[in-house]
Amino acid sequence: MNKMNKKILQLAIPSIISNITVPLLGLIDVTIVGHLGSAAYIGAIAVGGLLFNIIYWSFGFLRMGTSGLTSQAYGKRDLDEVVRILVRAVSVGLFIAALLFVFQYPIEKIAFYLLDTSEEVRSLASVYFRICIWGAPAVLGLYGFVGWFIGMQNSRFPMFIAIMQNILNIIFSLVLVFGFHLKVEGVAFGTLLAQYGGLLMAFVLWLRYYKKLRVRICIKQSLELRAMRRFFSVNGDIFLRTLCLIAVTTFFTSTGAKQGDVVLAVNTLLMQLFTLFSYIMDGFAYAGEALSGRYAGAGNMTSLRRAVRTLFYWGTGLAFFFTLLYGMGGEGFLSLLTNNQDVIEEANTYFYWVLAIPFAGFAAFLWDGVCIGVTATRSMLYSMFVAMAGFFLVYFVFQTNMGNHALWMAFLIYLSLRGLLLTGWYFRFVPGNR
């Protein structure tokens, strides 16, 4: 294995493991309340979890932007700037958390007005929301640390933190629910404590393994106006790009729901295959963030191009692998998720769209990582905007004749457009590719 492959795998594999642990936090909560005897508890956790996923997903730029800026400073060996970026990221995360505290009441009212639930589920979900909102400083502060660790070419620490959070969540939730009989409150407090445990672990790891950087901390320089402008410029592009992503995924889900319970179930199950693929590709995208930023910061365009080529070798190979995997075992996987034969039979009529996902989508994931690393976030935003427009255009043109097939075709075109547009950006703007 050559050195570049080794560097990519050292970054990608821990990130993949971290990604896989993400849905476990929600799954653990649902499993615990699923044994409390009422479906309303499950609905409350599902609704509350969905709300926080949307809120925190919107601020994912704190991780991504921090990763790109840190990796470039690391490549330049500018350790003062490396520390300043961490201070900026955590400070901005805490500021956003404070705004969430201030506006939690209108956020709750608007969210539960838009979410159509029973009165019992709404009441329980409100309890969950009012407790878990106090975890915002931990979640958003941890975004800064995780992005910083990845930018420092260290994806092992985020993996350790993610695993530890799951363990704490299991322990705290089980004790509070079954030991102290707190029900939804117990699950919420268990999640809250696990979130702060993750932030504390990140801080301890930073103090232990990056202690030489402590003397470089300067709050005044870190929050200097010009530097903050660049920080917000990069992260503003990522924020708007994330809103476009949310628009596409929300429309996909809501449109499927309008076509009936069977179509909603089919789309939900088939999307699990895309989600599985995305967990793997995101790991390689994180490697792309770290390495491309490092080489761009060092001005080493030869290594940057080599890293991109190697990433795309892995992406192509993984696309082949997942296409074969889904082609041979996709129906068996669906059977593990449901025993409803009507849903499985209906899913088979859409399965060829799923087989096209790996090749349609792998480039988009990898280019996102490279763009974040070299902070070409404006190009990433433009490509996302065009791809989103393509998604809605294709769906509304073909929906009358194709129904749900039009939704899947639009989704594949959206993925493909992102990859194609960013490929054009790379060959146009990265030196040595003309």
pLDDT (tens digit, 9 = 90+) per residue, 114-151?
776 778 888 999 999 999 999 999 999 999 999 999 99
Same domain, yes or no, for 310 and 379? yes
Assess whether 235 and 173 both reside in one domain.
no
144, 163: one domain: yes
Domain boundary among 208, 223, 238: 223
* Per-residue exposure over 417-428, b if at least 16 CB sit within 10 Å of its own CB, e if not: bbbbbbbebbee
Q: Is residue 343 part of a domain?
A: yes
Number of domains, the chain: 2
What is the residue type of 38? S
What digits encode the pLDDT tens for the residues 263-303?
777 777 788 788 889 999 999 999 999 999 999 999 999 99
Helices (H), 223-348: 225-258, 261-297, 301-337, 341-348
What is the pLDDT, as a whole number, of residue 261? Answer: 67
Question: Is residue 108 a part of any domain in this protein?
Answer: yes
Instruction: Mark whether 59 and 183 lie in a shared domain.
Output: yes
3-class secondary structure per residue, 316-333: HHHHHHHHHHHHHHHHHH
Q: Please give the pLDDT value at position 68.
A: 95
Q: Torsion-angle region of residue 153: left (phi > 0), alpha (psi -120 to 50) or beta?
A: left
Q: Which domain holds residue 399?
A: 225-434
Same domain for 128 and 153: yes
What value does the mean pLDDT take over residues 345-374?
A: 91
Residues 130 and 238 in one domain: no
Q: Are residues 179 and 318 in the same domain?
A: no
16 or 39: which leads in pLDDT: 16
Q: Which two tokens stand for residue 409?
A: 């075709």
- Tell me the backbone φ, ψ of residue 340, rounded to 5 degrees: -80, 110
213-242 pLDDT, tens per residue?
A: 999 998 888 888 888 998 988 999 999 999
Mean pLDDT over 298-323 rounds to 95
Residues 45 and 91 in one domain: yes
Q: 254: closest CA among 412, 104, 395?
A: 395
Give percent of the chain above pLDDT 70.
Answer: 96
Q: Cβ distance 182 to 37 under 8 Å?
A: no
Structure tokens at 388: 């989103």
Q: Which residue has the tokens 């994330």?
A: 242
The span from the CA of 383 to the CA of 241, in Å, is 9
Does residue 234 contact residue 68 with C-beta atoms inside 8 Å? yes
CA–CA separation, 157 and 140 (whole Å): 17
Residues 293 and 344 in one domain: yes
- 209: pLDDT confidence band, cut at 50, 70 and 90? very high
Q: Is residue 352 part of a domain?
A: yes
- Any idea which of 126-130, 257-261, 393-397 has the lowest mean pLDDT? 257-261
Whether the per-residue pLDDT at 321 is higher than 80: the answer is: yes
pLDDT over 60 (residue 1): no
- Rounded CA gap, 229 and 110, in Å? 31
Nearest-angstrom CA–CA distance, 27 and 252: 22
Look at 383 and 403; give whichever has higher pLDDT.
Answer: 383
Q: Where among 190, 223, 256 does a domain terminate? A: 223
pTM (2 decimals)?
0.92
Which residues fall within 8 angstroms of residue 301, CB to CB, at 6 or more apart? 295, 430, 431, 432
| Residue 431's pLDDT band (cuts 50, 70, 90) | low
Cα distance between residue 148 and residue 67, in whole Å: 5
Q: Quick one: average pLDDT of 63-85?
A: 96
Q: How far is CA 125 from the centre of its chain?
A: 23
- Check the CA dihedral 298-300-304-307 and report its sign: negative
Confidence of residue 340 (pLDDT cuts 50, 70, 90): low
In a domain, 2, yes or no: no
Same-domain pairing of 138 and 26: yes
Q: In this structure, is residue 368 part of a structural domain?
A: yes
- Does 143 reside within a domain? yes
Residues 341 and 368 in one domain: yes
Q: Which of 18, 14, 11 is nearest to 164 (CA)?
A: 18
Q: Which residues contact 32 (CB under 8 A, 6 or more apart)?
A: 173, 174, 177, 187
Contact yes or no for 283/7 (Cβ under 8 A) = no
Contact in structure between 427 and 434 (CB atoms under 8 Å):
yes
Query: What pLDDT shows up at residue 341?
Result: 73
Q: Are 83 and 217 in contact (CB under 8 A)?
A: yes
Structural domain includes residue 1: no
Asked if 147 contacts 89 with a C-beta cutoff of 8 angstroms, the reply is: yes
Residue pair 357/277 in contact by the 8 Å Cβ criterion:
yes
Decide if pLDDT at 250 tops 90: no
Q: Please state, in angstroms and rounded to a whole number, the distance separating the CA atoms of residues 242 and 197.
A: 27
Average pLDDT value over all residues in the chain: 89
Same domain? 204 vs 261? no
Round to whole Å and give the CA distance between 204 and 44.
Answer: 34
Instruction: Give the Cα separation of 194 and 173 in Å (integer).
Output: 9
Residue 206 domain-assigned? yes
Give the residue from 172, 199, 223 where a domain finishes. Answer: 223
What's the pLDDT band for 315 if we cut at 50, 70, 90? very high
